[in-house]
Each structure stands twice: as structure tokens, then as C-alpha cells.
Structure 1
Amino acid sequence: MIEFIGTDLDGTLLNSYSKISSENIQAIRKVVNSGVAFAICSGRTLHSVNKFFEKDLKIAGYRVVLNGAVVVDPKGQKIIDQPLDSKIVNEILKRSEFSQFKVVLDGINDIHIYDPNHSWTTYYEGMSRHHLKADSVGDLIKLNQQKDFDVYKVCFSCPPQRLHELQKKLESFTSLPITISRSGNYYFEINSQDVTKLSALQQISELSKIPMRNFMCFGDYGNDLEMIKNVGYGVAMKNAIESVKDAAWRITDTNNQNGVANMIERVLNDKFN
């Protein structure tokens, strides 16, 4: 019995144009109207995820954002709020200050970007008023010291030829109390220790009294892996990386073939087993 559906955004619910298809929208509305709880589970900020609820889906649902560091319930109440410790952020930034990687600090709504190659976009969308330039890692260090700005996620990315170098740098952080996940070929995200999409869903399960065995979740990349592996019905997109497919209960169509909608329709018609 499916009582809860959660889905990643990029590479999952969104197509290659970063849009939610009309098929996905209609399927989600139908399943919510049938009484199933719904969540978007994303590495994006709250502002970015809210836009999809307000402009596209137009339903109530959970916002599991910043890889689970913040969760807002369908009534708009924040039920999880776990920023990184500023001392840990400072240590990460100090150790990488002269490495010349792209570094992004995610607040709850705003993103601060330092890019030595002067490309100020994030991996999932272009510039907006919530994307702010930093001229150096030193600027990010100063920002982190401000009392009115909480850092929920530190992100690193690099050109393909520097991937091994970036991975070695990230390995040097593993003694810190953090969680490192991979959300793209050359994109890595750091959250507080034990902060994951799965940990957020476990807390939702506890509060809502919906057992995890009745959760169906969709994903495609490394930061979805634990979620897909540990819910009752973990569904990988056909475009997912192999480790996510291997962990999944089922594989659905790609994000460009309305894979989320196709599986939800099977749920609604009781043909998903």
C-alpha cells in the first residue's frame, strides 16, 4: 500500500529543460487527491522548490530541501532545520581556499557562488536574484562568519579534467562530521553529519505515522541512493546511474518519458507489484 510518494527533481521529475511535464503534474495531482502524501526531495533551496509547488503542481506537500537539511510540512511549518556548524564550514573553506574549484554556499533560499572560471550559474539552473557572486573563497569565509546567514550545504564542482583532484580534496574532509554526496558527474555536496534525504523521510515517517514500507520514492543520482535503497518502493529512473538502478525496487522510464507519471498511474490502477 502506497501512502507517501517522494521524488527528486533534477533528472527525475524535471525533464531536460528543467520543466515538469503536464503528464507528471496531472499524475501527481491525481494521486494526492486520492489521499497519498507527496514530497519533493531535492538538493535545491527552499525558494527553488517552492516555485514548482506554487507555479506548476499547485498542491500541498512536503518540501525536503537542501538534501534533507530543511523540511517544511504541507501546512508550511518547518519541521527540520539542520545547518552546518559554521566552524566546520570555515575549516572546509580554509582547506580549499587556493584550490581553484568552484565553491557554492547554500543558504535556505540564497546561493553564494565563487567560480574562478567566472561562470556564476549553479548545476541546476541559471542566474537569479537568489544567486549571488563571490569574488573569492575569502568572501565566502566572511559570509560564513555572519550571524544572520546559516550555511546548509557546501558544494564543489570542477572541469572534467580536474575530477580526480577534487575527489582527493573531498577525501581529506572525511574526518570532519559531515555527509558528502554526489549529485552530478562533477558536482559534490556537503551537509551536516547524518543529514540526507533518507534521514528527513524517516523523521516525516515518525511524525506522520506513515511507515517507511509504504513510501515510494523516485531518484536518479548519488544523493538519492540511500532514499531509494531504504524506502518500501524505491524507483530509479531509466536515466539513473547504475548504483541507483541496482538498489531500486523497480526502474521506470526516463525523466524525458514521464517516468514518474507512468509509475504513479500504475499505483493508481493498482498494477505496480
Structure 2
Amino acid sequence: MISFIGTDLDGTLLNSNKEISQENIRAIRAAVDKGITFAICSGRTLDSVQNFFDALQVPGYKVLLNGAVIFDPNNKKISDRPIAKAVVDDLLRSVDGYGFKVVIDGLDSTYVTDPELSDATYFEGVSKRNVLVGSVSELREINDRKDSVVYKVCFSSSEDRVAQLMKKIETFTSMPVVISRSGESYYELNALDCTKLSGLQRISAVSKIPIAEFMCFGDYGNDLEMLRGVGYGVAMDNAMEEVKDVADIITGTNDENGVAQVINRVLDKKIK
């Protein structure tokens, strides 16, 4: 029995134009109308995820920043797990001078230093909520503010420097953080025990829906544990091979309405 459907955004629910197709919108609305609980499970911030809920016009849980913050369908915060300021500062100090792209995410704000000015760092370009700063030192100053709360720290590089970035990321494995890979050269760090799966487990405890009744969709490294840990893990056909290997179902790509394909099978009782 499937009582809960959760989906990643980029590379999963969103097509290559960063939009939710009408096919996916119709399938999600139909599932919610049938009483299935819905969630978006993303590395994105609140404002970004809320924009997609506005497009869907359905209630649901928001699993934000890889599970660091969770809101229930009534917009009540049920989990809040920032990274300790001292840990953020240690991470930032350790990469100062390397020239990597570095991002720190608050609940609804993103600060970026991007020496290569690549745009790859941003989800939606530079806006009032996506602020480009000049250096890692400025990021450290932002983190040091009393009112600053950081939930996620991200590092990325150009293709020719990926090996150097990976070597630096390996030095963080002894620190109190969870490391996930969400792109070929993009790494995201959260507080310990802060993943999409752990966020869903907290939702399971609150909602009383068994995790075995959860179906979740994803495509990349920060979705791997989620797909492996829920009752029905669904990998997109465009997913990385490691994600496909742990999935129970492989659906079409994000440009083929892969999420809708499987939800419609659930609604037609072809998947139980």
C-alpha cells in the first residue's frame, strides 16, 4: 500500500527547463485527491520549494535543504537542524584560497562566492535571495552574525579541478557533517543525521504513516539513501547508476514525465 509520495526536484520532478510538466501536475493532484500524502524532498531553500507548491496547488510536506528543515502541510515547522557555527567556520577556513565555488544556505537565503562566475552554483540566478559575495572571508563574516543560521554548505569546482575538490572533501569525513554529492562536481554538507531519509523518518513518526508505505523519486547522490530506505524507491532513467542500483522501480526520464508515469500506475492499482 502506498500512502505517501515524495519527490526530489532537479532532475526528477522538474524537466530540463526547470519546470513541472502538466502531466506531472495532473498526476500529483490526482494522488492527493485520492488521499495520498505528498512531499517535496529537496536540497533547495524554502522560497524555492514554495514556488513549486504554488504551481502544484496541493498541500504537502516540505523537506528542505536535504532534510535540515521540515514543514508540515499546515506550514508548521517540525524539524530544524542547522550546522554549528564553529563547524561552518572550520569548513570555510579550510577552503579559503582554493578558488572553489562555495555556498552557504540559510532557510531562505543563499550566499555564494564564485571566482569563476559560472552560474552553475545557482538554482535560479542571482536574486535578492541569492547573493554573490566576493570571498570566503565574507562568507565567514555572514556565518558569524548572531542572526545567521546555516543549514547547508556546498562546494563545487570546474571540471578540470574535480580531483582537487574531491581530495579536499575527503578531509571533511572526520567532521560532524553528512556529505552528499548532487552533481558531477557539486558536494553538499549538512549536520550529522540530516538527510532526506532521516527527514522522512521524522515525518513518518509525526504522521504515523509507516516508512514502508512511502514511495520516493530521485536521481542523484543525495537521493540514494532515501530511495534505499523507503518502501518504494523510484529512480529516474536519467539517474546516476548507483541510484538505479538501489531503486525498486526505474521510470522514464525527467523530460518524459517519469514521476507521472509511476504515480498513474499507482492510481490504476498496477503498483500496490
Partner in structure 1 of residue 208 of structure 2: 209
Taking the TM superposition and a 5 Å limit, the aligned residue runs for 1:56-71 are 56-71=55-70
Q: Alpha carbon RMSD of aligned pairs, Å? A: 0.9
3-state SS in 2 of match to 1:79: strand
| TM-fit CA distance, 1:151 | 0.5
| TM-fit CA distance, 1:40 | 0.2
3-state SS in 2 of match to 1:18: coil
Taking the TM superposition and a 5 Å limit, the aligned residue runs for 1:154-169 are 154-169=153-168
Tell me if structure 2 keeps the 8 A contact 1:114–1:120. Answer: no
Partner in structure 1 of residue 89 of structure 2: 90
1:42-79 Cα distance to aligned partner (Å, 9 max, x none): 0000110001111x101110000100000000001000
Partner in structure 1 of residue 35 of structure 2: 35
Partner amino acid for 1:272? I
Partner in structure 1 of residue 121 of structure 2: 122
| TM-fit CA distance, 1:128 | 1.9
1:90-127 Cα distance to aligned partner (Å, 9 max, x none): 00001111111000000101100001113455343322
Tell me if structure 2 keeps the 8 A contact 1:120–1:133. Answer: no
Partner amino acid for 1:137? V
Tell me if structure 1 keeps the 8 A contact 2:6–2:40. Answer: yes
| TM-fit CA distance, 1:194 | 1.1
Structure 2 portions without partners, runs of 5+: none
Taking the TM superposition and a 5 Å limit, the aligned residue runs for 1:1-273 are 1-54=1-54, 56-119=55-118, 122-272=121-271
Distance 2:52 2:235 in 1: 21
Distance 1:249 1:123 in 2: 31
Partner amino acid for 1:145? D
3-state SS in 2 of match to 1:51: helix
3-state SS in 1 of match to 2:103: strand
Partner amino acid for 1:17? N
1:229-261 Cα distance to aligned partner (Å, 9 max, x none): 010000000000000000000100000000000
| TM-fit CA distance, 1:175 | 0.8
1:17-47 Cα distance to aligned partner (Å, 9 max, x none): 0000000000000000100000000000011
3-state SS in 2 of match to 1:191: strand
3-state SS in 2 of match to 1:132: strand
Runs of 4+, deviation exceeding 2 Å: 118-125
Partner amino acid for 2:39? A
Distance 1:187 1:121 in 2: 9
Tell me if structure 1 keeps the 8 A contact 2:83–2:191. Answer: yes
3-state SS in 1 of match to 2:91: helix
3-state SS in 1 of match to 2:38: strand
3-state SS in 2 of match to 1:44: coil
Structure 1 portions without partners, runs of 5+: none
Distance 1:114 1:246 in 2: 35
Distance 2:266 2:124 in 1: 31
1:171-218 Cα distance to aligned partner (Å, 9 max, x none): 111111000000011110000011000000000001100001000000
Tell me if structure 2 keeps the 8 A contact 1:177–1:192. Answer: yes
Tell me if structure 2 keeps the 8 A contact 1:235–1:250. Answer: yes
How many residues are matched?
Answer: 272
Tell me if structure 1 keeps the 8 A contact 2:101–2:121. Answer: no
Distance 1:175 1:98 in 2: 22
Tell me if structure 1 keeps the 8 A contact 2:122–2:130. Answer: no
Distance 1:80 1:164 in 2: 35
Distance 1:202 1:225 in 2: 15
Partner amino acid for 1:19? E
